[in-house]
């Protein structure tokens, strides 16, 4: 059976706009821009006959999928696709902590690129832990019978998830872009998965012409 899987990052939140860390511990809503992005996403893809919508357990993904959920498409909220936990940095901006978060993220990314996947922000989740639950979710997703599935999740989780889908080590996470409501499309044929669209934001062109 061939399946089409659309993987989308949530729309913009005020935390995104203000460069404040969200992660899995901050359950923020979309801002006006995010709601406009979500509406543009729906307008562009509303004629796709999705038979399942999967969101994370966090509000911003459910709000991004609202147009589709209002069509009474079957919906599952799955915490396995929540954003990574950024520990002590969640809910904070760079001016709120003594140690520069930019430097901490840079150091963490360097560790992950060196395959130290157990590295984490204090109190947060490691890349290994995130990859484990995303791998578990992928197996559930591949086994589902629905043929057109919309998955709404989060930036860092998407980066890791696409690595897993493409069979690449997760040290390559940063190779994948993740704009707000950017769309990855994956074709599944049996156990074979192929990414055929990457971080596509054509639907946002309508916002730029208003």
Give the residue from 189, 188, 136, 190 showing the smallest Cα distance to 160: 136
Domains of the chain: residue spans and CATH: 2-85+126-208 (3.40.50.1240)
Q: What is the pLDDT of residues 188-207, one digit of tens each?
A: 999 999 999 999 999 999 88
Q: What is the pLDDT of residues 63-89, one digit of tens each?
A: 999 999 999 999 999 999 999 999 998
When pLDDT is cut at 50, 70 and 90, the band that residue 54 belongs to is: very high
Measured CA angle at 147 (ends 146, 150), to 5 deg: 85
pTM above 0.75, yes or no: yes
- Look at residue 210 in the predicted model and tell me its pLDDT: 44
d(CA 122, CA 157): 18
- Look at residue 167 in the predicted model and tell me its pLDDT: 97
Cα–Cα distances in angstroms (integers) from residue 7 to residues 82, 90, 179, 195, 206, in the given order: 13, 24, 12, 10, 20
In the chain, DSSP assigns E strands to 2-9, 52-55, 75-77, 148-153, 183-189, 192-200
One of 12, 63, 83, 90 is an active-site residue; which one?
A: 83
End-to-end CA distance of the chain: 41
* Residues whose CB falls within 8 Å of the CB of residue 198, separated by 6 or more in sequence, listed in order: 162, 176, 177, 184
Active site residue 4: no
Active site residue 172: no
208 or 114: whose pLDDT is higher? Answer: 114
d(CA 11, CA 13): 7
Inform me whether the pLDDT recorded for 173 exceeds 80. yes
- Look at residue 148 in the predicted model and tell me its pLDDT: 98
Structure-token pair, residue 83: 């954003």
Per-residue pLDDT, averaged over 174-193, amounts to: 96
Q: What is the pLDDT of residues 131-146, one digit of tens each?
A: 999 999 999 999 999 9
- Look at residue 206 in the predicted model and tell me its pLDDT: 86
């Amino acid at each position: 059976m061939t399946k089409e899987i659309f993987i989308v990052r949530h729309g913009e939140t005020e935390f995104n706009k203000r460069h404040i860390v969200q992660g899995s511990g901050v359950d923020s809503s979309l801002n006006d821009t995010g709601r406009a992005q979500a509406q543009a996403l729906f307008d562009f893809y509303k004629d796709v006959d999705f038979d399942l919508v999967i969101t994370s357990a966090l509000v911003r993904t459910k709000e991004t999928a609202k147009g589709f959920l209002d069509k009474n498409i079957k919906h599952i909220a799955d915490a396995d696709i929540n954003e990574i936990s950024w520990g002590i940095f969640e809910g904070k901006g760079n001016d709120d902590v003594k140690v520069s978060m930019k430097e901490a993220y840079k150091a963490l990314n360097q560790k992950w690129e060196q395959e130290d996947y157990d590295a984490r922000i204090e109190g947060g989740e490691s890349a290994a832990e995130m990859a484990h639950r995303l791998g578990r979710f992928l197996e559930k997703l591949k086994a589902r019978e629905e043929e057109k599935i919309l998955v709404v999740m989060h930036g860092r989780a998407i980066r890791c998830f696409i690595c897993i889908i493409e069979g690449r080590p997760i040290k390559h996470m940063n190779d994948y872009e993740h704009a707000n409501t950017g769309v990855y499309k994956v074709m599944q044929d049996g156990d074979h998965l192929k990414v055929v669209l990457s971080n596509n934001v054509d639907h946002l062109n309508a916002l730029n012409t208003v």
